[in-house]
Amino acid sequence: MSHAATATKNDAHAAAPKATAKAAPRDAAADQLQLLLMLAGDWLNGDRSHAGEIRALMVGLSPVTVPVNTDVPHVSQAGAVLSCTMGNWLGAPTSYSYLWQLDGANAGTDAPSYSVQAGDVGKSATCTVTATNAAGATVAPISNAVTVA
């Protein structure tokens, strides 16, 4: 094959558009499972053969952050029951606690609903929600106030 023929053949390949590879989105749950399996395997076998892979996965996992409230809890009344929403949260809370107050005094319940007592009528009811995860706990701003009927 002549030099001219080789140059033409190479030029044809050089002109072809190159495909760009996009990285697939990370699957955090799959990464966490893979990390757990490698850690367990290394621990059971008494070796560090996966240390580099484990380090790479640890960098890719997003750290757990304390919950952040994005929507304040809301109190409503239906009959003799007050209900408090948990609000909306970032940071993947794993549990919620509720503090009910009547005219600013603790009502003594840790539930999203409160059963109205005869002496509660006319009082102002509010609810404060605390969200918790592995990184800590955050108290949401106090809910709206509802006059107990």
Q: What are the chain's domains?
A: 25-62 (no CATH), 68-147 (2.60.40)
Residue 130: which residues within 8 A CB-CB, separation 6 or more?
96, 97, 98, 99, 137, 138, 139, 140
Residue 109: which residues within 8 A CB-CB, separation 6 or more?
98, 100
How many C-alpha atoms does 135 have within 13 Å on its Cβ side?
A: 12
Q: What is the pLDDT of residues 119-146, one digit of tens each?
A: 999 999 999 999 999 999 999 999 999 9
Q: Kindly report the pTM of this predicted structure.
A: 0.60
Q: What is the pLDDT of residues 8-60, one digit of tens each?
A: 444 444 454 555 555 555 566 777 777 777 777 777 777 777 777 776 766 66
Judged on CB neighbours under 10 Å (0-12, 13-18, 19+), 9 is: exposed
Cβ of 36: how many Cβ atoms within 10 Å?
11
